[in-house]
Structure 1
Amino acid sequence: MYIVQIASECAPVAKVGGLGDVVYGLSRELSLRGHCVEIILPKYDCLRYDHIWGMHEAYRDLWVPWFGGAIHCTVFYGWVHGQQCFFIEPHSGDNFFSRGFFYGALDDHMRFAFFSKAALEFLQKSNKRPDIIHCHDWQTGLVPVMLFEMYKWHGLWNQRVCYTIHNFKHQGIAGADVLWATGLNNEGYYFHYDRLRDNFNPFALNCMKGGIVYANAVTTVSPHHAWEAHYTDIGCGLSHTLHLHQDKFKGILNGIDYSTWNPEVDHNIKLQYSWDSLENKAKNKKALRDRLLLEDNDRPIIAYIGRLDDQKGVHLVHHAMYYALNRGAQFVLLGSATEGSINSWFWHEKFHLNDNPNCHIELGFNAELSHMIYAGADMLVVPSNYEPCGLTQLIALKYGVVPIVRGVGGLVSTVFDRDHDDKHPPEERNGYVFYQTDNHALESAMERAIGLYTVYPEEFRKLQIQGMKYDYSWNNPGNEYIDLYEFIRA
């Protein structure tokens, strides 16, 4: 098949969150299976150009219709770690992608409406006719709308669209200006409830809703998150739309790239290891302690790696830190705050615990250190309020780190409680799960994990090995996406 991914991110050249990892990881998996895959991205001025090989002009004069006129664009081509990527650069006073950041501008809805329009214009003008167009999140929600309402009359009549939602919280709320800019124009038609009109604001358009309504297939990033979005407030107001289109909506669990996240081949860690050489993990544990100036003792290391914000259950992260220390464990935190108040809170904790030989707080993101923490830690806490898929628990399992997670989204689809899971036999369980958002629920799960480590070390080792044997690569998701592509082609 010929597959084109249209997205606002692709790791490692343009990465803010898990979206970038998915676009790259899935594209790589499909390419390895022999499919032709191309990725279309905005040419941000803040791209990681050091990860792009052989960049050159591929289409010099792309004129994209916009507000009754046209904006001149150049399309560049380059290889990103083996993946073919096209980068669209508009030459306009709007400076859509020359702002030093990816998201956060007041006109984001216009920036990505233009990108969606430009991507389709590029496919049409360059005579590219993919079998599947796979687009992602609200930034490209207008792609299936414009494809069905406009571009199918101009040569793109046989293309099928798969639309993947990574985060329901951000939906691309826009006004009628988006219609007039893109040439969709007909306000009365698109402001209809069955098309783009926001479910709760009759004067707003919803780009994500447009993607759901017009795409041939709609996915999100784990089966349980699909259920949550359909039946709970996790759908952020789109549950009824998902219900109307439930026949084409499903969850496909994300994978992780085992060429990057694998202790057997990881060159960022002291000593490589696998489930049958788990004793080498102890040397990585000592290396982590040496790096972070932690006391070398027989305590377990409990870690948190990720953003510090409300989605991630930051209040429980804070509580986990002190509970671990009070229970005779060590705690390592690597994360960056998205809000000033949370940032100040954790800087205060960092200064307060600076001389504690059993705690280290690293505020910011350090890729090399994250590998060392996974290789050296015994347990990982992931107390998210909601988590569409989650990558940290998948990485932790591969590195022999026992995850302690809240039972939401992709966490409950991938971590199975050692003591209480009723769907998996004991030999298939791999961590600890709690469900409430209070301190006592977290403490109960942490207590069980610390107790097993302390009192029954051989049983803890067995649990580590069971987690390491799980396959959360892109192999299974790759199969599911190929089956879905074939279905919508037919």
Structure 2
Amino acid sequence: MIPVLFVTSELYPLVKTGGLADVSSSLPEALCGLGYDVQVLLPGYPDALAAARKAGSRRKAQFRIGQYEVSLWQTRVPGTAFTLWLVDCPLLFDRPGNPYQNEEGQDWWDNAHRFELFGRVGAMMAMGEAGLSWTPDLVHCNDWQTGLIPVFMAPVSRRPGIIFTIHNLAYHGVFPHQTFQDLGLPESLWRWDQLEFHGQLSFIKGGLVFSDRITTVSPGYAREIQTPEFGHGLDGLLRSRQEALTGILNGIDVRVWNPQEDPELTFHYRRNHLKNKARCKVSLQQELCLDVSDGPLLSFIGRLVEQKGVDWLISVMPELLERHCQFVLLGSGEARYEAPLKQLAQQWPGQMSLTLGYDEGLAHRITAGSDIFLMPSRFEPCGLNQMYSLRYGTVPVVHAVGGLSDTVHDPQDADTSVANGFRFSEANEQSLLAAINRALESYSNRQSWRRLQDNGMAADYSWQQRAQSYDDLYQAILKEREQHQLD
């Protein structure tokens, strides 16, 4: 078995702010199924440590890094095949709530120090310097929080292979030059082609510059981030490394997201028997105090931020509510979006439900009970919610970007045998409204709507298929490292 260290700042169900947590759970599990010995490294957040102790964790190492006392705890998340390691450093990670922000929604002042230490521990494990008997042949890093691991490993020629996955390039992990100096990083790294980014320190550049391979979470996003529009200032660097860059579409955990067995649903259904989907809709309407109606129920689950196109959605909702559409929204974010949504919910109590925050069970029930799922994101590296909705027979309407474009196929552009939803290309509310109108027209035609649902539910969104692509990439890296060491 080939040992792989998978390093992440989130892991479902222990800590989750977005899709990274889902991927960090599902991909290692699928890779274990292919014969890899995957071991996941995660910061020791309070909830994660509590769950680990309940599952019977064991402290395997204890050491000091600078002023910080660090322990490594080994455990296993129940029902998974991979080993989990937790970096226990109370001064940096023993904090309530969000792993990156305080209760006021502000970034922790010492995030750079927190994830620099996390990166040092990851590099120590990778290089066999943490006092453990296990060492990896490959290190798989994820997003800016792990960006310094390849930097710390770079000086060593006989190191493991490194793969770095970009889940969202909008988040660089950017800090002032003073932070670079406070961390004690070598001055030789303060160059435009290494860690310096317009006079600041960029963690993510460490992963992009020093890894053997870079992946993104969809083929479409891999192309987009090489352009100024989506590259967030790093498009030139990514174009220079395009031979090392690959887009691999995320999968979903089909055990967790399965309308036939989902424990969060009162009624279950499958592709060829959708009668209970209608009952899920009624149940959702009753749960959220909406009028029980056969009219179209549209939903949105996600962060209420500009990236998600929430402003476009707010612009088109009044007209659609006037036309007797219902809306269910679940999420939280910026006050400038929460306020008008609250107002709409007050104005249309029987037709609109707004739940601020996040509730995993409710997310499942919304996905099952909705007719149309909306994802008008300005950009979307992959997106998982559209795949959840497709699997549940809920037809998506999406902006044709990134992974949304890779997974949703519009009847205007695709054969009827694969069409499964509706897309819009222009980045504005008028284009969104036009796509929703086409969806509503199809909804009124039972036969065409049923075909879209059937196509969506028939596709394979599992990690088994996606993991094979990572397997191919891993093997290529190992061969290159072997050849490099021979040379």
| Fold match by TM threshold 0.5 | yes
1:118 equivalent to 2:121? Answer yes
Paired letter, 1:80:
V
Amino acid at match of 1:350: A
Residues 77-476 of structure 1 mapped to structure 2, 5 A cutoff: 77-81=74-78, 82=80, 83-90=82-89, 95-100=91-96, 101-103=98-100, 104-122=107-125, 123-125=128-130, 126-149=132-155, 152=156, 157-175=158-176, 184-185=185-186, 187=187, 189-198=188-197, 201=198, 203-336=199-332, 338-354=333-349, 357-418=350-411, 420-421=412-413, 424-454=414-444, 456-476=445-465
Q: Which moved more, 1:253-262 or 1:283-292?
A: 283-292
Rounded to whole Å, the distance in 2 between the matches of 1:50 and 1:345 is 38
Query: Deviation of residue 257 (structure 1)?
Result: 0.5
- CA contact 2:345–2:352 (8 Å) conserved in 1: no
- Contact kept in structure 1, 2:180 and 2:201, CA below 8 Å: no
CA separation of 1:296 and 1:175: change in aligned 2, threshold 3 A: closer
Distance 1:131 1:30 in 2: 14
1:33 deviates by 2.3
Secondary structure in structure 2 of the residue aligned to 1:276: coil
Secondary structure, in 3 states, of the residue corresponding to 2:20?
helix
C-alpha offsets along residues 51-100 of structure 1, whole Å, 9 cap, x if unaligned? 76534333242233x3xxx5321111111132311111126xxx211222
Partner Cα separation in structure 2 for residue 403 and residue 211 of structure 1: 33
Q: CA 1:178 to 1:217, structure 2 compared with 1: closer, same or farther past 3 Å?
A: farther
CA–CA distance in structure 2, aligned partners of residues 231 and 450 of structure 1: 34
Query: Structure 1 CA distance, aligned partners of 2:72 and 2:179?
Result: 23
CA distances 1:206-244 after superposition (whole Å, capped 9, x unpaired): 211121110000011111111110123211000000011
Contact residue 378 and residue 401 of structure 2 kept, 8 A: yes
CA distance in 2, matches of 1:458, 1:51: 50
Please report how far the alpha carbon of residue 397 of structure 1 lies from its aligned counterpart in structure 2 after TM superposition. Answer: 0.0
Residues 114-151 of structure 1: CA deviation (Å, up to 9, x unaligned)? 110022224423243211100111111110111112xx
Does the CA-based 8 Å contact 1:385-1:408 persist in structure 2? Answer: yes
- Tell me the residue number matched to 2:478: 489
Return the alpha-carbon distance in structure 2 between the equivalents of residues 3 and 461 of structure 1: 43
Specify whether residues 97 and 148 from structure 1 end up closer, same or farther in structure 2 by C-alpha distance, changes over 3 A only. same
Match for 1:294: what amino acid? Answer: L
Partner SS, residue 89 of structure 2: strand
Cα distance in 2, alignment partners of residues 359 and 296 from structure 1: 12
Q: In the alignment, residue 129 of structure 2 is paired with which amino acid?
A: Q
Post-superposition offset of 1:369: 1.4
CA distance in 2, matches of 1:19, 1:47: 16
* Deviation at residue 46 of structure 1 after TM alignment: 4.2
Counterpart code for 1:241: L
1:31–1:273 CA distance, 2 compared to 1 (3 A): same
In the superposition, relative to structure 1, how do residues 365 and 167 fare at CA in structure 2: closer, same or farther (>3 Å)? same
Between the aligned partners of 2:230 and 2:114, the Cα distance in structure 1 is: 26
Deviating more after overlay: 98-107 vs 425-434: 98-107
SS in 2 for 1:34: coil
CA distance in 1, matches of 2:71, 2:432: 52
Q: 2-side partners of 1:240 and 1:121: how far apart?
A: 31
**Letter in structure 2 aligned against 1:445:** A
User: Which consecutive unaligned segments of at least 5 residues does structure 2 have?
Assistant: 101-106, 480-487
The Cα of 1:176 is off from its aligned counterpart by 5.4
SS across alignment from 2:390: helix
Distance 1:51 1:168 in 2: 31
SS in 2 for 1:277: coil
Cα offset, 1:27, TM superposition: 0.8
CA distance in 1 between partners of 2:338 and 2:291 (Å):
26
Equivalent position SS for 1:328: coil
> Does the Cα contact within 8 Å between 1:136 and 1:165 map onto a contact in 2?
yes
Q: How far, CA to CA, are the matches of 1:51 and 1:309 in structure 2?
A: 33
What's the % identity of the aligned pairs? 33
**Equivalent-residue separation in structure 2 for 1:303 and 1:134 (angstroms):** 35
> Following the alignment from structure 1 to structure 2, what is the Cα–Cα distance between the partners of residues 428 and 116?
43
The question of whether the paired residues in 2 share the 8 Å contact of 1:417 and 1:432 is answered with: yes
SS of residue paired to 2:345:
helix
RMSD, aligned CA: 1.9
Cα pair 1:161 1:216 within 8 Å, conserved: yes
> Given that residues 55 and 77 in structure 2 are in contact (C-alpha distance below 8 angstroms), is that contact kept between their aligned partners in structure 1?
no
Residue of structure 2 in register with 1:45 after alignment = 46
d(CA) in 1 for partners of 2:140, 2:303: 27
Q: Scaled by the length of structure 1, what TM-score is found?
A: 0.91
Secondary structure of the corresponding residue to residue 284 of structure 1: helix
Q: Indicate the SS of the match to 1:319.
A: helix
| Count of aligned pairs | 466
Q: Per-residue deviation at 1:179?
A: 5.6
The 8 Å contact of residues 13 and 52 in structure 1, kept in 2 or not, is answered as no
Q: How far apart, CA to CA, are the structure 2 residues paired with 1:323 and 1:80? A: 47
Cα distance, 1:180–1:360 mapped onto 2, change above 3 Å: closer
Amino acid at match of 1:117: R
**1: distance between equivalents of 2:320 and 2:267?**
26
Residue by residue over 1:285-316, the C-alpha shift from the partner in whole angstroms, topping out at 9 and shown as x without a partner, is: 12112212222232121111111110101112
